[in-house]
Structure 1
């Protein structure tokens, strides 16, 4: 799936992504400030998270529950210095739990990513819109 959108269309984009039936482990690639966290917040709401969501930049992972008792994990590995830090916090258990796992900066943990995963790449375009690819 490839799409171009503006940030005010983010909820529609989240709905399109969910309709594609992606793997529950989703990697988000893109430069700092491109909208990865904003998209993850929209995805969480589309799958039923009712409460507030935020970036887990300092905690590494935030856990949310959906209205139908699904679990959603949101990871931000930007601050990791080495991959074993993710192992120390139990990342492998989260990633193989069968729950939704939205991962920012997954390139910091290349050896921990399950084989079955989806990848979203977001790029900022010159007109301020975003280009998104889901594979």
Structure 2
């Protein structure tokens, strides 16, 4: 069984960005998530929808907020993070140049044993000096 998300109006919302609810989801007045259950419902022209990230659901979840409880957009945090990253990269010492490539010597075989001779030039099987 494959579980998939249904596509609806929530998929089009950007994460952590307040959007006016009346622009994309008209309907009856509803409550603010910050005001609580006892508060009176607000008209949708006064509510802001914010799509939050969720650790177990990649689609996230949407909450409605009044003007008093509306969270600030997270765009400033992203810009600040990029600035901090650039500042950190400038503070790091410059990287060293890559090491020279290793040149492998050709394989030398002992004419008597037909085994590869190590770099010393002495066969490990018979002890013969191979040039």
TM-score bracket, shorter-length normalisation = under 0.3
- Higher gyration radius (CA): 2
Higher relative contact order (CA 8 A, sep 6+): 1
The alignment's TM-score, normalised by the length of structure 1, stands at 0.19
TM-score by length of 2: 0.19
Query: Structure 1 or 2: larger helix share?
Result: 1
Structure with the largest fraction of strand: 1
